[in-house]
């Protein structure tokens, strides 16, 4: 089994997701700035995995400055928080993890610098371990929603590669398979980064889970012919009213699912829910380099001079979401009430 991200011998090790599925290459980072660049360039991606990477990156950066005074460490923490916060704007797990590391640092006042650095390393590893456990719990809550012999459509990659392991949407699918259900997955290829083709197809095939790759624009075709029983995706940020930001194209999948009377589920940890935002219009949407749209891999597929746009995420209004599966249970509309109740129940 592959490891998405690891802490090994005082360095951060990541499976390079820009090279999958052609090559399985692990990158070793010994400097925080390198970890930030790995997030920016999508060597690691997926909301929970980005959070774990930022936490480990901060732990690494604080270790680099380990011999300094607590005042120097405080300055370093400020600086690292800014560096990581500037990597990718949409996945709230990034900011959640940064804040958790900041709170841990604050709680180390009175310790030696070495003690503070050790506490930060421990916290980063705890965030990783908790993520894995959260995904398994999410799987247990979501599994009953997957019928026997279900044909399940998913978009992007919300799997082990997008988390510390097991996955959110793919975690629910894994839990159903572990229960003995025969599940068949339709994976949208997810242009332009091809998370579906390169990552979801790869990780499900590694696990022997039945997966069929389709182009993004074939989703409606299969739904309209009765070849999809439900859709399930992950999320990068969920607002208080249940609006869901996820990979570009998710909104189209949700609208098509509604038109075809197919349930549309979102699986995400509580750390993806941003109760500071009332609705999805407030969610910052990352715009990536248009060059990524004008290429398929390294091959140019559009005239050099043409203008392209590349929003990396879209927002699916809550009215299209059948249910949100979390580690604390399953929320249904009205989400203002049900999401808050999950937080209250988990504390
Ligand atoms: O641009 P990416 O690959 O980081 O986008 C990932 C997604 O949109 C995932 O669906 C989301 O982060 C959930 S991952 C469990």
Q: How does pLDDT run across 215-254, given as a tens digit for each residue?
A: 999 999 999 999 999 999 999 999 999 999 999 999 999 9
Query: Measuring CA to CA, which residue among 13, 22, 18 is closest to residue 42?
Result: 18
pLDDT at 176: 98
Tokens linked to 104: 């841990």
Tens-place pLDDT, residues 152-196: 999 999 999 999 999 999 999 999 999 999 999 999 999 999 999
Residues 104 and 15 in one domain: yes
Using DSSP, state whether 237 is helix, strand or coil.
Answer: strand
Tens-place pLDDT, residues 107-157: 999 999 999 999 999 999 999 999 999 999 999 999 999 999 999 999 999
Residues 171 and 50 in one domain: no
Ligand 1, atom 10: nearest CA belongs to which residue? 234
**Tokens 């599925």 belong to residue:** 21
Ligand 1 centre distance from Cα of residue 49 (Å): 9
Average pLDDT of span 199-214:
98
Tens-place pLDDT, residues 37-67: 999 999 999 999 999 999 999 999 999 987 7
Q: CA 332, CA 322: separation in Å to the nearest integer?
A: 7
Q: For residue 22, what is the domain's CATH number?
A: 1.20.120.420
Q: In the predicted model, is pLDDT for residue 90 greater than 80?
A: yes
Q: For residue 262, what is the domain's CATH number?
A: 3.40.50.10470
Q: Where is the domain boundary, 107, 136, 165?
A: 136
Residues 99 and 45 in one domain: yes
pLDDT at 139: 98
Residues 123 and 160 in one domain: no
Task: Supply the range of the domain harboring residue 77.
Answer: 5-136
Q: Which residues form the catalytic set? A: 236
Ligand 1 pocket, Cβ-based, cut-off 6 angstroms:
45-48, 91, 156, 158, 162-163, 168, 195, 233-236, 246-247, 312
* β-bridge partners, 266: 233, 324
Q: CA 183, CA 81: separation in Å to the nearest integer?
A: 41
Residues 155 and 115 in one domain: no
pLDDT at 66: 75
Q: Where is the domain boundary, 103, 136, 169?
A: 136
Q: What is the DSSP code (8-state) at residue 334? A: S
pLDDT at 183: 98
Residues 31 and 69 in one domain: yes
Q: In the predicted model, is pLDDT for residue 286 greater than 80?
A: yes
Residue-by-residue DSSP string for 90-149: S-HHHHHHHHHHHHHHHTTTTS-HHHHHHHHHHHHHHHHHHHHHHHHHHHHHHGGGS-TT
Average pLDDT of span 201-209:
98
Tens-place pLDDT, residues 245-274: 999 999 999 999 999 999 999 999 999 999
Residues 27 and 105 in one domain: yes
Tokens linked to 344: 């209250």
Cβ–Cβ < 8 Å for 302, 293: yes
Ligand 1 centre distance from Cα of residue 157 (Å): 6
pLDDT at 297: 85
- pTM of the predicted structure, to 2 decimals: 0.97
Residues 27 and 42 in one domain: yes
Angle between helices 70-85 and 32-40 (to 10 degrees): 10
Residues 76 and 155 in one domain: no
Using DSSP, state whether 91 is helix, strand or coil.
Answer: coil
Residues 225 and 328 in one domain: yes
Residues 171 and 310 in one domain: yes
Q: Where is the domain boundary, 103, 120, 136?
A: 136
Query: Measuring CA to CA, which residue among 222, 275, 225, 219 is closest to residue 247?
Result: 219
Which ligand 1 atom minimizes the distance to the CA of 91? 12
Query: Measuring CA to CA, which residue among 248, 250, 218 is closest to residue 321?
Result: 250
Ligand 1, atom 5: nearest CA belongs to which residue? 46
Torsional class of 10: left (φ above 0), alpha (ψ -120 to 50), beta (otherwise): left
- Count the domains in the chain: 2
Residues 168 and 130 in one domain: no
């Amino acid at each position: 089994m592959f490891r998405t991200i690891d802490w090994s011998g005082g360095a951060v090790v990541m499976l390079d997701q820009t090279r999958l599925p052609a090559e399985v290459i692990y990158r070793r980072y010994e400097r925080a700035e390198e970890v930030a660049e790995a997030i920016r360039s999508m060597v690691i991606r997926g909301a929970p995995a980005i959070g774990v990477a930022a936490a480990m990156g901060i732990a690494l950066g604080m270790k680099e400055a380990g011999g300094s005074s607590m005042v120097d460490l405080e300055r370093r923490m400020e600086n690292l928080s800014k560096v990581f916060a500037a990597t990718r704007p949409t996945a709230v797990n990034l900011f959640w993890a940064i804040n958790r590391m900041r709170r841990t640092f604050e709680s180390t006042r009175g310790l030696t610098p070495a003690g503070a650095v050790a506490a930060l390393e421990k916290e980063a590893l705890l965030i990783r371990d908790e993520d894995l456990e959260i995904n398994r719990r999410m799987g247990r809550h979501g599994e009953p929603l997957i019928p026997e012999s279900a044909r399940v459509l998913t978009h992007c990659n919300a799997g082990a590669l997008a988390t510390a392991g097991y996955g959110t949407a793919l975690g629910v699918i894994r839990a159903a398979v572990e229960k003995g259900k025969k599940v068949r997955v339709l994976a949208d290829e997810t242009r332009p980064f091809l998370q579906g083709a390169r990552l979801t197809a790869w990780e499900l095939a590694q696990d022997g889970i039945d997966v069929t790759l389709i182009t993004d624009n074939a989703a409606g075709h299969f739904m309209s012919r009765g070849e999809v029983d439900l859709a399930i995706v992950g999320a990068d940020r969920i607002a208080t009213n249940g609006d869901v930001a996820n990979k570009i194209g998710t909104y189209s999948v949700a609208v098509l699912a509604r038109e075809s009377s197919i349930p549309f589920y979102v699986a995400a940890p509580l750390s993806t829910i941003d109760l500071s935002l009332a609705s999805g219009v407030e969610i910052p949407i990352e715009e990536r380099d248009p060059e990524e749209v004008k290429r398929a891999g390294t091959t140019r597929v559009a005239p050099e001079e043409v203008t392209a746009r590349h929003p990396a995420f879209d927002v699916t209004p809550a009215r299209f979401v059948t249910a949100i599966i979390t580690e604390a249970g399953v929320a249904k509309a009205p989400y203002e009430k049900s999401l808050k109740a999950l937080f209250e129940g988990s504390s």
